[in-house]
A = this chain, B = another copy of it.
């Protein structure tokens, strides 16, 4: 019992110290392990299996829109990175440089890709000639490196896994459509699969991607009231095409520049899953993304017939991702482990249950116990998982809404940011000066200019000039 208690006690409570709670959960749920390279994490089987499910779901959705996967080199020659001025300014300060190959110094140093716009542009300039070659709808799954000063598992690490989509189109309109289309793919995926509601909108110029004409984002609210940018989609217009000379011959035989987009989602989103759904007992995984959806825990498993019945039950639940914990640990220990790992359902089955032809289903999120007949338990499990998935989204939405306020003037704004962790909706004049001032004085950044606009006031919350648009503000990860 002492050992069991320790397993649970090891998680700091969220209220006490949210950051420590997060660190405890990723460690105790065995999602990651620190490595001997500063800022680089090891993604362990429990963590990687979540990423594999995310990949599977996203990849299918991408392919349904015509996207094809490719693989680009991980190195970018310095001269290539420098071709687009804004882009290199944004990334050069945070890349890792390879200067030696084998025993020889390189003639030109190579950076380890922080993102691959320049490589795709170079590629497109070689393979795009005619309007018949367009659009190009490519994506790659890979790791990228950004030399971050402070790092946290999943949220900010020197190396992280992601997908980066890069498309080239004949017209500006097509590029804009694709940018929005992929943002919607991300938002739908997050809501339907990860049970995380998203605010969709546009980044301000200050916050947009280096080299982009416009950046769109989905923003989520974590349990502690901080925002997390969860996926971005960029429209580059023909800026990169000019820098890399990507031209095609149109139907009238005239040379035109292509219009490009890029869009990415990374392992950072696993951080969002943890911080939106987790509780003081550990991780809580939405059923659709959980590597194991059901853990069967035999009670008094040394008694005759119990393990056999548990194995039979597993067979019966073959449509779900299900495991039996038949190790020699105590049931209490197994419960704690299942809870820490966030496995959506556990099913307890012991001699008395078997006698009554039933089993006890326990939901991870609400701890609700459901007694199910063994005859139809596969139906019950399906229903409970669906309900849980739905309710997790509703709960996350309710939490976000309860932590979203409006501010009409600067005093109200400052007070909200300080006292009510969450999003603050407020009007903005469109000037960078106000955005900078707000960040400096309150720590809040503009999260996005949401597609769904409201007029919470007439004037800019900061300078009082005529407002251009409503912005979501908040402190962010």
Contact = CB atoms under 8 A, between A and B. Distances in A.
Interface of A: 33, 35-37, 40-45, 48-49, 51-52, 68-77, 80, 93-103, 109-110, 112, 119, 122-123, 126-127, 138, 142-143, 145, 147, 158-159, 161
A40 B147 contact: no
Nearest to A127: B33
A40 B75 CA distance: 8
Contacts of A94: 102
A35 B127 CA distance: 11
B70 A123 contact: no
Contacts of A75: 37, 40, 96, 159
Nearest to A119: B35
A48 B70 contact: yes
Contacts of A71: 42-43, 48, 51, 143, 161
A232 to B, nearest CB: 22
6 contacts: A35-B73, A37-B110, A44-B70, A96-B102, A97-B98, A98-B98
B36 A80 contact: yes
A123 B33 contact: yes
Given A75-B96, A97-B99, 10 more contacts: A37-B110, A42-B72, A42-B119, A44-B70, A45-B70, A71-B161, A75-B159, A94-B102, A96-B101, A97-B100
A101 B68 CA distance: 32
Contacts of A99: 97-100
Contacts of A98: 96-99, 112
B41 A68 contact: no
A74 B33 CA distance: 15
Contact of A96 (B76, B95, B100, B142): B100
Given A37-B77, A112-B112, A69 B42 contact: no
Contacts of A36: 77, 80, 122
A72 B71 CA distance: 19
Contact of A48 (B35, B52, B69, B126): B69
A119 B109 CA distance: 25
A97 B36 CA distance: 17
A96 B99 CA distance: 8
Contacts of A126: 33
A123 B33 CA distance: 8
A77 B41 CA distance: 14
Nearest to A118: B36
Given A37-B73, A73-B159, A101-B147, A68 B45 contact: yes
A207 to B, nearest CB: 21
A168 to B, nearest CB: 14
Contacts of A122: 35-36
Contact of A42 (B51, B73, B110, B112): B73
